[in-house]
Each structure stands twice: as structure tokens, then as C-alpha cells.
């Protein structure tokens, strides 16, 4: 009959609602995974808008320098923003002063004089940048002061002052927004990078657990990956240390954690070089099981550190690794007393005896990692 409203299919509605829930769940998952990036974009937007408003309020002639500076200064962490602000401001002051002084001493009435002035201004700043890359903005600022038409109107000193004021404003706004709006502390990035390094070291130890087998142990891309992880950790430690020096955080010295993980990398890769050979049956029968037990205990401990570091939880118990280490060292002593070591080649005997020193050093560094993790958990 005309005008009748069609009946609603309950199954169709249920499917539509289920599809909507799945879409919302997927969207929330994307937002959660990219939370840090989205917050960085928000901080950049707020900083740029605030810098523009302040530049207009203060009547700065070229406020876009303040806006550009906020985009450059606003980094993924407060420590990174602080470093970018200091570098840009210091370089801008050097470049502005050099450009203004040279412009006053050598007024560029002819192209030749201008060219000489440009060379005299840029040469020392280029040399400074070659040795200290953080000052790379200095030559750019000097060129702007020398070549801009605004310098002819305001004078070199006035124009240089305006540029420094605009960049200082942008730097202050960038750091302030980074510190006040959903701040991302470098300490959190430090702990995430340390956890990634610990996970990769655990993978290498799991590979080393089968030392002395019939085939050499291939670590594949793991050494390159751990080096990349430690590079990221070094950068995070640098930013975290800057926050600590600036009283923006009171976390333990981040350099200690970085140095400990670097030593662990050296210990574990040295063990790979020592054990990357085929053991005779007599050696394998005595050493294989104790070494596998110790390597597995170390790998388990490193994986546990990778879990607790980002959460600032207490470190795992070190007693399983210590107990397994004692058994392994006793097995090496058994080989030595039985005279088995003397029957080996000089190279293999040196590798096995040298491993005793290296695993003791490894355990000391693991204990140090436990102390660093405890410091972080109880800070």
C-alpha cells in the first residue's frame, strides 16, 4: 500500500553497528599508535600561532621569522626543543653581529665592496660551522643582514637586533609550548630506546646459546640493528641530560644507562667472536649445556629489563644468571684440570680460557644494568 514504511531488518542494523564499531576501533588504534606524532603536530600548530600573535602584538617588522623558528625549535621532546632553541639562538646572534659589524665597517656602495664584505663576514662563520655544526644558522643570518633591503632602512644594527628579537621570541615560544602542552620528556624516550637495545642484545644472546655447534653462528643484521638502537639511545640520553641540567626533570643521570648498554654490546659481541668456532666433542660435552643455560639466563634477564624499563618497574632477579655463571666457570675449570685444554689448538684454548674473563665482565655489566634500572624505578 502506498506510503507504507518498509520494515527495518534487525540483522542489517546489527551488521551496520558492528561495522561502525570496527571502524571506530580501527580509528582509535591508529590514533593511539600515532599519539606522539599527533601531539608533536599539535604543539607545532599552537607554537606557530602563538608566535604570530606575539610578533604582531610586539610590532616586529618581520614576524614570520618567529613563526619559522617555532617550527624548527618544536621537537619530539622538551630536551630536543631546548637544544634546537639554544643552537638557533646562539647561531643567529653570532651571524647577526658579524653581519652588522661588517656592514658598518664596509658600507657596500659598489658590487666589489659588497663582495669583499660578504667574504669577510662569511669566512669565519663558515669555519665556525665546519668545527661546530650547531652554528650552521650563523652564516645564513649574516648573509640576510648584509643582503636584505631592510638593513638599508633600519641600519645594520637595528635590522640585526630585530632578527635576533624575532628568533628569540620564536625560540622561547617553541620551548614553552613543548614544556607546557602535552610535554614529551626525553626520559621516556630514553627508556624506550634502552628497552629496544636490551631486546636486541637478548636476541644475540639467544643466538650465542648454541655456541660450539657444527656451524658458525650468523648474527645477520643484529649487530647493525643494535648499533642503530644505541645511536638513538645516545641522542635520547643527550636530550635527557639537557632537561636534567635545566632542572626540567630530576631523573637519574641518563649517560650511565647508555654507557652500561654500550659495554654490554661490547661484551656480547666479544663473546660471539670468542665462541664463533666449532668445539671438539670433549669440549662440547662439558661446556655446551652450562653455556647454553647461562646464555639463556642472560637473554631472559635482558628481555625482562626491556619490559620493566619503559614502565619504571623494579629490575628482574639476577640470581639465575649468577648461578648459571658459576656452573659455566666450573665447567671451564673441569676442562683445565682434566688436561683437555692442553690438547686443543692454541687459538681454541685461548678462546675458551678468554671466555671466562669475558663472561665475568658481562655479568658485572648486567649487575650494573640492574642498578641503573633500580635507580630509574625508585627515582
For each of the domains in the chain, give its residue range(s) and CATH number, in order of start.
35-180 (no CATH), 186-378 (1.20.58)
d(CA 114, CA 135): 23
Among residues 175, 177, 169, the alpha carbon closest in space to that of 67 is found at: 169
Per the structure block, which three cell numbers stand in for 52?
A: 604570530
Distance CA 150, CA 146 (A): 10
How far are the Cα atoms of 6, 14, 23, 24, 340 from residue 11, in angstroms, in the given order? 15, 5, 18, 20, 77
- Distance between CA 204 and CA 226 in Å, rounded? 9
Helix (H, G, I), strand (E, B), or coil: what is residue 85? helix
Q: Please give the Cα distance from 293 to 297 (Å, whole number).
A: 6
pLDDT on residue 238: 87
pLDDT of residue 223: 92
Distance CA 126, CA 361 (A): 45
Is residue 278 classed as helix, strand or coil in its secondary structure? strand
pTM exceeds 0.75, yes or no: no
What pLDDT is stored for residue 1 in this prediction? 46
The alpha carbon dihedral of 156, 158, 160, 162 has a sign of negative
Whole-number Å distance between alpha carbons of 48 and 215: 59
- What is the gyration radius of the CA atoms in the chain, in angstroms? 31
Residue from 369, 4, 1 nearest 191 by CA: 369
Q: Alpha carbon 204 to chain centroid distance?
A: 21
212 backbone dihedrals φ, ψ, rounded to 5°: 85, 5
Task: Give SS3 for 212.
Answer: strand
Helix (H, G, I), strand (E, B) or coil at 350: helix
Tens of pLDDT, residue by residue, the chain (379 residues): 455 545 556 667 677 777 777 777 777 777 677 777 888 888 889 989 999 999 999 988 888 888 888 888 888 777 777 788 888 888 888 988 898 888 888 876 778 888 888 899 889 998 988 898 888 888 988 888 888 766 666 677 888 888 888 889 988 998 888 888 877 777 888 999 999 999 999 999 999 988 765 566 788 899 999 999 999 999 888 888 887 877 767 788 899 999 999 999 999 999 988 888 778 888 888 888 999 999 999 999 999 999 999 999 999 999 999 999 999 999 999 988 888 888 888 888 888 888 899 999 999 999 999 999 999 998 7
Q: Please name which of 257, 228, 203, 213 lies closest in space to residue 369, comparing C-alpha atoms.
A: 257
- Contact indicator for 66, 55 with CB cutoff of 8 Å: yes
Cα separation, 356 vs 282, in Å, equals 18
pLDDT, position 31? 67
CA distances from 340 to 20, 280, 305 (A): 71, 10, 37
By C-alpha distance, which of 358, 341, 347, 251 is closest to 294?
358
Rounded CA separation 253/104 (Å): 47
Amino acid at each position: 500500500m502506498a506510503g507504507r514504511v518498509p520494515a527495518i531488518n534487525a540483522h542489517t542494523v546489527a551488521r551496520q553497528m558492528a561495522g561502525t564499531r570496527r571502524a571506530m576501533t580501527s580509528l582509535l588504534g591508529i590514533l593511539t599508535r600515532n599519539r606522539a606524532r599527533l601531539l608533536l603536530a599539535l604543539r607545532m600548530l599552537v607554537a606557530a600561532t602563538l608566535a604570530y600573535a606575539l610578533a604582531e602584538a610586539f610590532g616586529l617588522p618581520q614576524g614570520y621569522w618567529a613563526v619559522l623558528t617555532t617550527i624548527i625549535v618544536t621537537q619530539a621532546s622538551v630536551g630536543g626543543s631546548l637544544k634546537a632553541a639554544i643552537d638557533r639562538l646562539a647561531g643567529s646572534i653570532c651571524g647577526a653581529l658579524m653581519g652588522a659589524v661588517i656592514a658598518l665597517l664596509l658600507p657596500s656602495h659598489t658590487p666589489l665592496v659588497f663582495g669583499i664584505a660578504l667574504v669577510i663576514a662569511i669566512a669565519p662563520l663558515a669555519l665556525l660551522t665546519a668545527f661546530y655544526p650547531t652554528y650552521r644558522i650563523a652564516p645564513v643570518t649574516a648573509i640576510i643582514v648584509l643582503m636584505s633591503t631592510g638593513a638599508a632602512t633600519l641600519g645594520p644594527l637595528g635590522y640585526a637586533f630585530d632578527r635576533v628579537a624575532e628568533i628569540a621570541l620564536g625560540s622561547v615560544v617553541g620551548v614553552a609550548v613543548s614544556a607546557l602542552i602535552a610535554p614529551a620528556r626525553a626520559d621516556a624516550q630514553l627508556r624506550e630506546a634502552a628497552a629496544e637495545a636490551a631486546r636486541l642484545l637478548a636476541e644475540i644472546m639467544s643466538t650465542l646459546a648454541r655456541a660450539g655447534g657444527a656451524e658458525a653462528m650468523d648474527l645477520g643484521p643484529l649487530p647493525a640493528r643494535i648499533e642503530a638502537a644505541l645511536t638513538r639511545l645516545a641522542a635520547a640520553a643527550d636530550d635527557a641530560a639537557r632537561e636534567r641540567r635545566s632542572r626540567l626533570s630530576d631523573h637519574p643521570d641518563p649517560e650511565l644507562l647508555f654507557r652500561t648498554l654500550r659495554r654490554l654490546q661490547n661484551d656480547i659481541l666479544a663473546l660471539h667472536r670468542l665462541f664463533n668456532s666449532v668445539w671438539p666433542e670433549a669440549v662440547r660435552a662439558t661446556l655446551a649445556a652450562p653455556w647454553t643455560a647461562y646464555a639463556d639466563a642472560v637473554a631472559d634477564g635482558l628481555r625482562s629489563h626491556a619490559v620493566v624499563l619503559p614502565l619504571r618497574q623494579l629490575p628482574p632477579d639476577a640470581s639465575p644468571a649468577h648461578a648459571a655463571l658459576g656452573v659455566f666457570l666450573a665447567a671451564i675449570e673441569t676442562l683445565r684440570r682434566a688436561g683437555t685444554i692442553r690438547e686443543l689448538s692454541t687459538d681454541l684454548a685461548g678462546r675458551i680460557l678468554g671466555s671466562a674473563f669475558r663472561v665475568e665482565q658481562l655479568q658485572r655489566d648486567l649487575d650494573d644494568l640492574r642498578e641503573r634500572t633500580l635507580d630509574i624505578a625508585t627515582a
